[in-house]
Chain A
């Protein structure tokens, strides 16, 4: 039971883990009582997190973004095949690939930076449509993994977001303008593009806010 209790503490931050296991040892709590205490704390901490708006937005972006990016990845794979057959130009496929990379990275960054502590929920919400799509994939001329092209840039973005990798305002603005221009070039502002428009410009606002708070310095 002791090891079960210790296993349950993996959901806690390192300092909380240390303090809670110490408190349990000091009060002599063991067995179910210790396990219940730890699980109670984990549950309460999660409930507190979900009282804020950030985890809800992060989860929504993770779920809806992965659904949309699955179709973007599939579209890119089909167009790449056309490119190899000489039915498509390099330019449009390159634009499409750049757009997918930037959509995936910005969405991942937004998910990671908005709610690092609920990243496992966002991860599960991203994995569900991915798994479902991979398992139901029927096109025999393409690998079923072609729908997951977006996953690597999205995961890199999410990790950088969780680590709060510094994003300069100029870089974010350039990225957002480039993405908007590419969206206009590749078919205009239809529904899917509107969705990815938001993370890109949210990053601009986020980078500006970070620079302003850095200029002010610590209080």
Chain B
């Protein structure tokens, strides 16, 4: 099963689609998830997920904005989508009886 940050990364990369690359994913995670994402955490997780076959990466175009450096483009594989879906469904199942998910009053 995926780790929490792995799930966040795959979900954000899938959401960005064709424009998913290092800096864009990092910015999106910080904006949407409201958490700091270091370059170290981002790239080591991307490498780990690529080794597991959940992501595919390749070097994209270089832009002037990036000082002429290429982007590391990211695409979620079918296996990655399946793993993310499994994680999401497990979280929904786990949260079923929690007050914040079911709307039931909180028990002490």
Contacts and interface: CB of A to CB of B under 8 A. Distances in A.
A143 interface: no
Interface in A18-71: 18-27, 37-38, 40-45, 48
A37 B43 CA distance: 11
Interface string B49-87: 000000000010011011101111000000000000000
B69 A25 contact: yes
Contact of A15 (B41, B44, B48, B72): B72
Contacts of A15: 59, 72
B25 to A, nearest CB: 10
Interface in B1-59: 21-23, 26-27, 38-41, 43-44, 47-48, 59
A19 B40 contact: no
B62 A22 contact: yes
A25 B40 contact: no
Contacts of A22: 22-23, 62, 66-67, 69-71
Contacts, number: 72
A24 B66 CA distance: 8
A34 to B, nearest CB: 9
Contact of A23 (B26, B47, B62): B26
A35 to B, nearest CB: 11
A19 B38 contact: no
Nearest to B62: A22
Contacts of A20: 22, 39, 43
A38 B71 contact: no
Interface residues of A, number: 21
A36 to B, nearest CB: 9
Nearest to A42: B40
Contacts of B66: 22-23, 25-26
Contacts of B21: 19
Given A19-B71, A23-B26, A48 B47 contact: yes
Contact of A25 (B47, B67, B72): B67
Contacts of A24: 39
B48 A26 contact: no
A41 B43 contact: yes
Contacts of B72: 15-16, 18-19
A48 B52 CA distance: 14
A44 B23 contact: no
A207 B44 CA distance: 30
Contacts of B67: 21-22, 25
B38 A48 contact: no
Contacts of B23: 22-23, 26-27
Top 4 nearest A-B pairs (CB, nearest first) are A22-B69, A40-B40, A19-B72, A22-B66
Interface of B: 21-23, 26-27, 38-41, 43-44, 47-48, 59, 62-63, 65-67, 69-72
